[in-house]
Each structure stands twice: as structure tokens, then as C-alpha cells.
Structure 1
Amino acid sequence: MKRSVLGVLVDVTSYHHATGAVLAAARERRPFAVTALAVHGVMTGVLDREHGARLNSFDLVTPDGQPVRWALNTLHRAALRDRVYGPDLTIEVLRAAMREELPVYLYGSTTDTLNLLQSRLRTALPSLKIAGAEPSKFRSNNAGEAMDIAARIRDSGARIVLVGLGCPRQEAFAHAMRPLLPMPLLAVGAAFDYHSGRLRPPPEWMQQHGLEWLWRLALEPRRLWRRNLLNPCYLVLFAAQRSGLWRASPPPAASTCSSRFPV
């Protein structure tokens, strides 16, 4: 069940239902695009209508950040007791994939991060089948490259793809690759960095009070300071939507993929 948060359609869901939806798509070998959106992710869709349409075409958009969960509860009486946080959803999906012997493919980040991530996953989830891992090239794709990437993923035997390119690059990638791959693609944000040990997760109390952005800013100030300028904009637009001063009409879902997307 999707509801508008500033015009971006976010699902009223839980870890259980989100994981079940991903695993069902993997078993049935059908395309299924998933992302987990915090405030920054929502604002990318608000400020860029084309990207907002892209997000609204996703099969599943989970409330990654507490402020997004609070917005669903306040605006739509969703009664969500917890967010569906990308790094935690990643682990839930990987555990389920391990139980069902469904191979996974890791796409994005750097070679060093992927090596660390695979090492840690093999320790934590020893029966997990990792079909392949491919680092990002940090550039736009070349002509025909999408087909080559899709072929490598299909040929690996993977049934689930985890995409760690950062927002909004990972959503652009997942949206473009969805028609080419008969399997779920999960845009998982910082999950690769957290689960590889490259980033320390915030304390639980900060997560519960919606302060993860502050933790991330303290760890990566030069990279993230611009992103956090959007936080006051989110609050203003939320207040306008709640009061009825702004309708926040969702852009139509994008049905076609751009020929250019980040790899």
C-alpha cells in the first residue's frame, strides 16, 4: 500500500512483508525494484520530477528513515511501529536467501569494500551463495553496457541483486536494469559500507530519534554536508502537506528507462 510523502510514493510495510515480497520475486524469477528512502532520498524525488517519476515506478519503496515513517503515520495514519531500514532489510533478505539457497550478486561501491563485505558475509552467513561482485565504475554507462552488465549478472546464476551506489545513483541503476533482469534489485544505500565495517553504525538511540543523519555527517562531513541542507526543506514541505497548503501531487510513474545511468 503506497502513500504520498511529499509526492513520493512510499509503502506502508514492515521488514517481514518487504523481505517476503523480495523473496517471492526471486523464487518466481520476475523483475522487482526496491529502494529504502530516508529524507534525502525523498527530497531527490521532490526536487527532480524525472527522478520522482522513477521512484514512483518502483515495486517497493520502504521508509528507511524515522522522519519518513513519522510522515506516513502523521499524514496517513499508517500506524507503523518501525521503519524498514536499508542495512537491516539487507541482512533480512540475505538470511532468507541463505535459507532458500538463492544466490545473490553485489553491485557497486569499490573493490576493497566488496572484498571486505564478502569476507564478513561469509563469516556471518556461511551458507550464503554469493554469485558475483562487481564494483562501480563511478561514471555513466557507455552504449550497450547495460546489456553487458545484465548478461554478467544473469550468467552468474544470481537470483537477487544488491545495489550499493548511493542515492540517487542506485535508484537510477535499478530502474534502468529492471526490464533486463528477471530478479529483484535492491538499492541498499550505505549497507555495503556498514556491513563491510567501513562505516560504524550509529547508536540505537540516535536511530530511534531520527538522528542518523547527524551521525553520518560527523563521519563524512565533506561528502554529506550539502545533502543535509535538504533537511529543513523536508520539514517545511511536510508541514505544508499536512496543513493542506500543498497537495504534493505525485509525478506519474516512469515506464521507460533512460539510456544513460550511472555504473
Structure 2
Amino acid sequence: MRVVTLDRIFDSTDVARLPHRDQIDGIDVRRMRWFGSKRYPIAPGQLLAIRDADLVHVHALDFAYDYLALTRPLHRRPMIFSTHGLFFHTPFASRAKELYFKTITKLGSFAYRAIAASSAQDEARFRTIRQRGVLAVENGVALDKFANLAARGTRNIIAFGRIAPNKRIDQLIEWFARLTHVQPDWTLTIAGKPMGVSLDALRAQAGQLGVADRVTFHEFPSDDELRALIARASVFACASEYEGFGLAAIEAAAAGLYLALSPIEPFRRSLTATGHGAIVDFADPTSPAAFIDAYAAGQANLPPPPQSLEARFGWQAVSEQFEHVYCCVTGRTRRLIDTVAIYPINASNATAHIAELLARSEPAWVAFANQHTINTAARDPVVRDMLAKSFVIPDGIAIDVASKLLYGRDFPENLNGTDYLPNLLQALPPQRLFLLGSKPGVAERAGQLIRAIAPQHAISGWHHGFADAQATQELIAQLRSKQPTLLLVGMGHPYQERWIAEHAADLPLVAMTVGAWFDFLSSHVPRAPLWMRRIRMEWCYRLYLEPKRMFSRYITGGFIFMGHVITQNLRGDRI
């Protein structure tokens, strides 16, 4: 791992440059020289720092986002982006920001394989410029940093974090002055790093409002100093008018502080998650009295223990989400081909996974994906949803071409269903099989041949693939009665996927699409010569046998498929 950052700390009293290279907890740190505004620090040197990276994770919307997107054809590194509130914290130049976001930011987004929104608010905003590849991965919080430090029952309010214009510390001080008119013994502590706000101006405001002796300011507190301040407080207050996520509020909740938060959506979600605090309209002259009543009632309830917040906000959970994103966008655990996520897996690992699914005795679906599958999923939401819930296996040369273009490498193995299924059945432990599909008599003949191929399995039954509504209900009753563990559905695509989606969701078995395998196995439909199969040209033979039906699937469908893949490559999404 390598961290690429800048060589000066914004708004620090120490203007000295930091070392260009460093090691922190075993992590390689590279610091870049920069010039320009701290809101858009220009640092061209980062291009060299990422040249050997397997994946680049860009944080925050500034020069790095634009520069690395623009130079993507040069460095060719896969990238993801975390939003961190974007740049809408204040109303300053709001129209210019919106225009920039909808043009430059939108164009740059196509260079990123995933957009990890740091909040639901960021996710919603980013989806206005990019529909695919956007997901919420909220900020991680060090919940043990201030855990259980609060002094419950005291009348000391603390506001900590960045002291920036959007935090509206001025409005908080004005509200606090009104609070002391109702209950005079409250105090207010303001601690943090000034960023665009003058502490002298805030002190003057407190003096004008007559609360200078009850408001204290702590500039650039260390973690130890902040712990000591929190340990004297019982309430965390924030009058912010904009938050991307609201990290300080979650840290305060873990400390056991009662939360008094402004009525913005991120804070409403924080209160829903923590259950300890109140929404306060800091501009409302009557809100101090309402706060006092709410605070008194809240003292009867214990604050949430930090461990109760771990699953949603803890770094362990967030790091696991990012690991999943990293593996997906690099194609290690699954590869998104247009709308279908396919597992990059070889035959032995696929068989092991299917055996695991069978051992669970729960509903599970297995499907094969070729170019025709991808094309159907693009226009059929039922098939698309079914495949999203399935263990999907790569099938065909076109899928490999797509993987090479999108991820830079082929799938580990082409698991053509017709060749793979006999090996799968031979390797699986004893199962109860039910065969569904093809014309009358074909599935029965295929079942007899399966007994010879894999004699450890019992054939629970079979049924052709042309059942009407009444026959389908009788078939479902038969499946429930005979309780097969593995249902092989060979109705052809997309009918088999639709049938599974509609009828197999509640059946405690593994339903697996097998296409025309029953026809091939029973020699009802001839297969291509072995030499054609070895060079992965069996589709040409099927086109020769059925030119009218297969032309649209293989030729017209091939152009449509490559259109989807090229569009996805230009669009950038891999998740």
C-alpha cells in the first residue's frame, strides 16, 4: 500500500514542508509538492507516484480527481473515487460549482470504475450525473477514540471538529445565549481546527451576547486534550447547515454524549442509528426550552454502547466494504459484464462452490452466462434480477473477449455448460436430481444417461419444458413432494431463467440452468465436431444447423453484445 498526499498541512500554524518520503506504520507515504489554492492544490507529481499501482483510490473532489481522470490514457491504472462531501459545504459560488459538477466532474467520472459515496446524500447527488457504478460506502469512524468518556448529567455542551463556515458556530453561540436565559448554568466548549472562520470574531460575538464567561475556545486540540474536554461534557451540539456524513456526531455518540443536531438529513440518519439525542432548530427562539425538556427526558435512557455502532460505522465493517469494492473493480472476485456479474472461477472451484450451496439446503440459483445472456439481461429486468441473485459461471469466447477489454485478462477457464455439467455431476456427492426441460421424452432419456455418467445420484423425476399454468402448479407440488436437492432446468434462454425466478424462490434446492444440455446429452441435437469445440467455434456449427434462429443470436447479437461492452468500457463502471 502507498499513500500519495501533499507536503503541507492546510491551515496549520507550521508552514514547513513535510518529508517527500516516509514510512508510517509500515505504509509507504509519498508527499507531493503543490501550488495554487488549498481548495484545488495542483500536484502533477502524483502521476509518477501511481505508475506501478494495481489500483488507485482517489479521495475528495479536487485536482487529483480531475488530473488522474484526464491522464487515464497515459497511466492506465484502474481507479475508484470516494466523495467525502464533494464541494457543496457552503453556498459560495453554488451555481458555478453545480455547473462544474455537471460537466467536468461528470466527464471525469467515466475514468473511475466505482464511485464510493461517503454518505447517502453524496450518493444521491452523484447519481444525477452517473447512473451506474455508484454505491454508498459511508466513512469509517474510530469508535474507541472517545468511547464512554461523557460526563452524563453535567450541563456542559461541546462542539468539536472542523470550525468551518458550514458548521455555523455563530448560530450555535447565539442559540446557546438564549439557552442560558432559560437555564443559566450551562457552559459551551468549542474545540477544533479553524478553517475559514475567525475565532476572534466568535469570541467577540460571545462577548456581545453576554456569554463570554461561559464559552471557551480550544484551537488545534490534541487527541488527549480533546478527550479531557469530552470527559467534562454531556452534550454534543452541531448547528451545521451542510454535512456530507457527520463523522464528529458519530464519535460523540460513541463517547456517550447526548446529540443536539441541526435538522439536516445526514443528522436525522445519525439520530436514527444512535437513538440518543434530538433534532434542534438552532434558529428557532423557542428551541432552547424544547431542548432542555428533551435532554431531561433523554437522561433516563442510556447512550448506545460503542460496540452497537460497530456494524455500521466501525472501520472493520467499512474496510470490508472497500475490500469488496477493490476485488470487484479489479475483477478478482467477480467481473461485471454490462449488467451481469460473473465469477472468475475455474471448474474445480466452481464445483466446490456448488457443493457448498447444496450442503446448505437453502434456495440457491446457478446460471451460465454467454453473450446472449448478457444481451437479454440488458433488456429484461426479470432475467437481470435472477442473474443478480445467482452464482453465474462464464460460458463462451465472447465473455472472454469482454473480460479482456474490461479487466485486461481472460476468465480463468471457459466453463461451457455442455462440457462442464458431466464433470460437475461426477464430482458432486450423492444428490437427488430433477430434470426439467426440452421436449417430452428428452429429459427422461437424459436422466437414464446421467445414471450411467454419475451413478451416485438418484433421479427424483423429470418433466418436459412445456407446462401450462395448471401443469406448472402440479409440477411445483411434485417438487415439494419429492424434495430434490438439485433441479436442472433446460428450457433454453431466457425461459429457464424466468421460470426459476418465478417458481424456485421458495424451493429448498439448488436450481441450475442447463440450456440445451438434455438435447445434446440424449443426442436429440448433434454437437459440433471435437476439433471445432477445442478451438471454441461450436457456435459456428450451431449457426450452420439453424441459420435462421442462430443468426440473430450469434451475428446480430454479437454486434449488440460488443456495443454493450464498449459502452461499459467508456462509461467506466465495474460494479
Q: Point out the more displaced range, 111-120 or 183-192.
A: 111-120
1:224 Cα deviation (Å)? 2.6
SS at match of 2:402: helix
Q: For the residues of structure 1 that align with 2:530 and 2:394, how far apart are their CA atoms?
A: 17
Q: Match of 2:379?
A: 47
C-alpha separation between the residues in 2 aligned to 1:8 and 1:247? Answer: 15
How far apart are residue 49 of structure 1 and its match? 3.8
Does the aligned pair in 1 maintain the 2:422–2:453 contact within 8 Å? Answer: no
User: 1:150, CA displacement in angstroms?
Assistant: 3.0
Q: Tell me which of 401, 407, 423 is aligned to 1:76.
A: 407
Quick check: 1:162 aligned with 2:467? no
Q: For the Cα contact (< 8 Å) 2:436–2:488, is it kept in 1? A: yes
Tell me the secondary structure at the aligned position of residue 12 of structure 1: coil
Alignment partner for residue 529 of structure 2, among 192, 203, 214?
Answer: 203
CA distance in 1, matches of 2:352, 2:423: 10
SS at match of 1:111: coil
Name the structure 2 match of 1:232. 559
Partners of 2:384 and 2:572 lie apart in 1 by: 15
Gaps of 5+ in 2: 1-332
- What TM-score results when the alignment is normalised by the length of structure 1? 0.82
What residue in structure 1 maps to residue 459 of structure 2?
130
1:8 correspondence with 2:335? no
Paired AA for residue 108 in structure 1: G
User: Residue 153 of structure 1 corresponds to which residue in structure 2?
Assistant: 479
Cα separation, partners in 2 of 1:53 and 1:123, compared to 1, 3 Å: closer
Note the C-alpha offset of 1:179. Answer: 1.9
Greater share of helix residues, 1 or 2? 1
8 Å CA contact retained: 1:107, 1:164: yes
Deviations 1:158-208 (A, max 9, x none): 110100000000111122233221111000112111111112222344335
Cα distance between partner residues in 2 of 1:130 and 1:232 = 41
In the alignment, the residues of structure 2 paired with residue 50 and residue 173 of structure 1 have an alpha-carbon distance, to the nearest angstrom, of: 10
Q: Is residue 447 of structure 2 the alignment partner of residue 118 of structure 1?
A: yes
Residues 19 and 89, structure 1, Cα contact 8 Å, conserved in 2 = no
Query: Which string of whole-angstrom CA distances, capped at 9 and with x for unpartnered residues, describes residues 51-101 of structure 1?
Result: 32332222x11111121123224312455332111123321332134xx22
Quick check: 1:23–1:96 contact (8 Å CA) kept in 2?
no
SS of the residue aligned with 2:393? strand
Aligned residues with identical type, % of pairs: 24
1:165-244 superposed matches below 5 A: 165-228=491-554, 229-242=556-569, 244=570
Query: How many angstroms apart in 1 are the aligned matches of 2:467 and 2:545?
Result: 22
Match of 1:93 in 2: 424
Q: Deviations over 1:218-242 (max 9, x none)?
A: 1223433332321111123323333
1:18 to partner: Cα distance: 1.7
How many angstroms does 1:25 deviate by? 1.7
Q: Is the contact between residue 8 and residue 52 of structure 1 (CA under 8 Å) also seen in structure 2? A: yes
| Larger Rg, first or second structure (1 or 2) | 2
Q: Give distance in 1, aligned partners of 2:407 and 2:501.
A: 27
Q: Residues 79, 225 of structure 1: CA spacing in aligned structure 2 closer, same or farther, 3 A cutoff?
A: closer
Amino acid at match of 2:367: T
Counterpart in 2 of 1:255?
A: none
- Alpha carbons 2:344, 2:412 under 8 Å: kept: no
What SS class does the counterpart of residue 493 from structure 2 fall into? coil
Give deviations 1:137-166, integer Å, cap 9, x for gaps: 255x35xx7654333113223110100000
- Change in Cα spacing, 1:39 to 1:209, as seen in structure 2 (3 Å) is farther
Contact 1:66 1:209 (C-alpha < 8 Å) held by counterparts: no
Task: Report if the CA contact (8 A) 1:33-1:175 is conserved.
Answer: no
What secondary structure does 2:441 align onto?
helix
Q: What is the RMSD of the two structures over their aligned residues, measured on CA atoms?
A: 2.4
Q: Following TM superposition, by how much is the alpha carbon of 1:40 offset from its aligned partner in structure 2, in angstroms?
A: 0.8
| CA distance in structure 1 between the aligned counterparts of 2:337 and 2:464, rounded to whole angstroms | 32
Give the counterpart letter for 1:179 in structure 2.
A
Structure 1's 18 and 178: CA in aligned 2 closer, same or farther, altered over 3 A? Answer: farther
User: Given that residues 150 and 180 in structure 1 are in contact (C-alpha distance below 8 angstroms), is that contact kept between their aligned partners in structure 2?
Assistant: no
Kindly indicate whether the alpha-carbon contact (under 8 Å) linking 1:8 and 1:42 is maintained by their aligned counterparts in 2. Answer: yes
8 Å CA contact retained: 2:377, 2:383 = yes
Q: Which moved more, 1:13-22 or 1:115-124?
A: 115-124
Superposition deviation, residue 5 in structure 1: 0.7
Mapped partners of 1:78, 1:27: distance in 2? 32
| Structure-2-length-normalised TM-score | 0.39
Give 5+ residue unaligned stretches, structure 1.
251-263
Instruction: For 1:137 and 1:114, locate their aligned partners in 2 and report how far apart those are by CA, in whole Å.
Output: 12
Conserved? CA contact 1:33–1:185, under 8 Å: yes
SS at match of 1:179: coil
User: Is it true that 1:24 corresponds to 2:356 in the alignment?
Assistant: yes
Q: Measure, in 1, the Cα distance between the counterparts of 2:517 and 2:445.
A: 12
Match of 2:438 among 106, 109, 124: 109
Separation in 2 of the partners of 1:48 and 1:114?
A: 27
Is 1:36 aligned to residue 368 of structure 2?
yes
- Residue range with higher mean Cα deviation, 14-23 or 79-88: 79-88
Contact 1:160–1:185, Cα closer than 8 Å, also in 2: yes
